[in-house]
Structure 1
Amino acid sequence: MFDHIAFPIPYQTLALPYPVQLTIKRLDQIHPRISGNKFFKLKYNLLAAQQQGLTQVLTFGGAYSNHIAATAYAAQHFGFDSIGIIRGEELASQRLNPTLETAQDFGMQLHFVSRAEYRLRHETEYLAQLQQQYPQTMIVPEGGTNILAIQGTQEILSADDLANYDVICCAVGTGGTIAGLIESSADHQLVLGFSALKGDFLKQDIQKWTDKNNWSLTDAYCCGGYAKTTPELLQFMQEFEQQYAIPLEQVYTAKMMLGVFDLIQQNYFPAHTRILVIHTGGLQGRLKHTKSCLNLL
C-alpha cells in the first residue's frame, strides 16, 4: 500500500572539523507529502483501516502537527475521508498556519476543541464517544503513535544502518519513532533522542513500547518547549541550511541538529564515532524566512 509510492532515501555525510562521522538519513525525501517518519507511522495504520473496510481516519494534533498534515494527504491518496481533532478552540477564528492549511487543502475536516477536551484524547470513554459519533472510522492517536506505528518505525533502519553506525539520533515528539528505532537497533548502538517538548514525561511513554535500555533522551535543546524558538535556534537553522543545503524546520529537526552539533563540539562522542541522524521531515511547517524571523525576535 505504501511501498510502491516511496522514493529512494538518500544519505548525506557532512564535512566537519571534528573526529567523528556525521551522516544524515534523509527520510524527508521518501515522499513529498507523507514525509519522514510519518510515512512509516501511517503505513500499517492505513493498511489496517483498508483491511477492515473502514472509510474514514480520525486523529489528533496540535497546530504544528506534522502528523496532521501527513495524515490528511495519505487519507485522501488512499481513498479515506479524514478528521483532525485540533488542540485550541481559539484557532477556529484565526488564520490557519501552513501545517493546518496543508491538512485542510487535502480534505481534512478540522475540529478545534478546548484544551480540556483535548486532554481526554487517551480516555476510553471519550474515544468510545468519538467511535459512536464517527462509525466506520479508524481512530489514530496523537502523533500516530500506537503499536501499528511502531511496527512501521522499526523499518526505518536498514541492515547497513545497523552495521555501519554507532549512534542513531532523532527528534522526539510522541515517542513512536524513537521507540521503533530502539526496538530495531543493534545491541552496540546508542539511540539518542532530542525532545521537542520540555520535561521528562516522554521517557515513561517510550518505556511503554520497549524493554531495551540502549537509549537516552534529552530536552536540553527544546528551546523552552514545543514549537517555541530562540534567536540561537533560528540563527543555527539559517547557517546550517546555507552551509549544507539541507532544509530543516524549527519544531523538530532544527532543535535536534542544534543538539547534535553542540554535543559534537563538547566532545560528547568519542573520536571516530559514526553518527546517523534521522531527518524526520515535516518541512511543510518550516519558517520560510528565518532571516526575517530573526529580526523580529
Structure 2
Amino acid sequence: MTAPPVSPSPRLPSPLDEVADERFARYGVRLLLKRDDLIHPAIRGNKWRKLAPVLAAAGGAGPRALLTFGGAYSNHLRATAAAGRLLGLRTVGVVRGEELAARPLNPVLARCAADGMLLHFVSRSDYRRRAAPEWHALLRERFGACLVVPEGGSGPAAVRHCAELGRELRGRTDVAAVACGTGGTLAGMAAGLGPGQRGLGIPVLRGGRLGREVRRMQREAFGGPRGAWSLDERFHCGGYARTPPWLTEFAEDFARRHGLPPLDRVYVAKLLHALTELAAQGAFEQGSTVTAVITG
C-alpha cells in the first residue's frame, strides 16, 4: 500500500538531546544523541543530507528520474524511493543479488516498490561495476534518461552537504560518532567540525578499506583532507545486516532506557553498542562529551 503524501520539507538543524546513561556517566562521559532520524518522516537522517543536492538537481531542467544502487536492506534505496514519491520523480534501484528477484521482497524492498521504485536485480559481479561510467550508459539505454546517484548517495555534492552536520555540532561535543556504510557522512561531517573536535566512524561492513574511501571522497569533495577523524572497525558484528540476538537485546534495552522508538539494527544499534564498549575501555577522556548521530 502506498504511503500518504508527506511534505518534503526537512526539520533542520536536527535536535541534540543529552541522555543520562550510567554506562557513560560512571566514566565521566556525557552522551548526546544527534537526532537526524527526526529530520524527515520518510527521508530520514543522513539520507536527507546526502540526497538534498541530487533532489535539487532533479527538480531543474534535467531528467526527472533517479537511478541508484544498493543491497537488499539498503536504507539509501528506501530513502530514494520515498523522495521520488514525494517529488514526483521516477526512480530505479539496481539491487545486488539476482537471486533476490525470485523471493518475496523483504520489508525494505517492499517499501521501495510501494513508493514506485522499479527494482532491477543484478549479479554480484555486475554490481561491482556500479561506479563504471560505461555501465551507467548501458543502464540509461535500458531505463531512459536519469541522474545516476552513487551507492549510499555519497557523491561529492552529498559529502559537501554533510559538512553541515559537523557545523551543527561545533562547540557542542568533543567526539561526533556515526555508523558508516560508504563513509560519505563521516567524510562530510568531519570537514564541518571545529578545531579540537574529531569524528569517529563505526563501519558496519567488514573489509578494512573504508579509510581509503573516506580519504578519496574528501579529495573529490574538498580537494584534500578535512578535519580530524578515525575509524574503529571492531563492531560490525560479522558484516552488513548481521544482527546477532545480543545486539537486538542491547537495542531494545537502550530504546527502553531512554524512551526512544525502535532502533535501526544495521547501523544505529552497532554505533551505540560500540560507544558503550569504548567508554568502558577508557577511549574517551573524563569530562568529555560524545555525540552519537542517530541516522534513522
Write the letter of the residue equivalent to 2:270. Answer: K
Change (3 A) 1:4 1:78: closer
Q: Does 1:7 align with 2:11?
A: yes
Distance 2:287 2:97 in 1: 46
Q: Offset at 1:204?
A: 0.6
Given that residues 44 and 151 in structure 1 are in contact (C-alpha distance below 8 angstroms), is that contact kept between their aligned partners in structure 2?
no
Name 1:112's counterpart in structure 2.
Answer: 121
Distance 1:52 1:180 in 2: 27
Q: Offset at 1:213?
A: 5.6
Matching residue within 49, 53, 70 for 2:79: 70
Distance 2:214 2:203 in 1: 12
Write the letter of the residue equivalent to 1:263. Answer: L
Give 1:1-297 correspondences, 5 Å limit.
5-7=9-11, 9-17=14-22, 18=25, 19-159=28-168, 161-210=169-218, 211-212=225-226, 214-246=228-260, 247-281=262-296
Q: Secondary structure at the match of 1:165?
A: coil
Q: Provide TM-score, normalisation by structure 1.
A: 0.90
Q: Offset at 1:4?
A: 6.6
Q: Provide TM-score, normalisation by structure 2.
A: 0.90
Write the letter of the residue equivalent to 1:5. Answer: S
RMSD, matched Cα: 1.7
Distance 1:231 1:4 in 2: 36
Q: Offset at 1:200?
A: 1.3
Distance 1:277 1:123 in 2: 34
Distance 1:127 1:136 in 2: 11
Q: Offset at 1:121?
A: 0.7
Q: Deviations over 1:69-121 (max 9, x none)?
A: 00001012111111100011111111111111111110001111111111111
Q: Offset at 1:135?
A: 3.3
Q: Which runs of 5+ in 2 are unaligned?
A: 1-6, 219-224
How many residues matched? 279
Distance 2:53 2:226 in 1: 23
Q: Secondary structure at the match of 1:219?
A: coil
Given that residues 92 and 112 in structure 1 are in contact (C-alpha distance below 8 angstroms), is that contact kept between their aligned partners in structure 2?
yes
Distance 1:164 1:32 in 2: 25
Q: Which runs of 5+ in 1 are unaligned?
A: 282-297
Q: Deviations over 1:177-215 (max 9, x none)?
A: 111101111121110000000121111100012213611
Distance 2:140 2:245 in 1: 43
Q: Offset at 1:134?
A: 3.2
Write the letter of the residue equivalent to 2:205. Answer: L
Q: Secondary structure at the match of 1:198?
A: coil
Q: Secondary structure at the match of 2:85?
A: helix
Given that residues 17 and 33 in structure 2 are in contact (C-alpha distance below 8 angstroms), is that contact kept between their aligned partners in structure 1?
yes
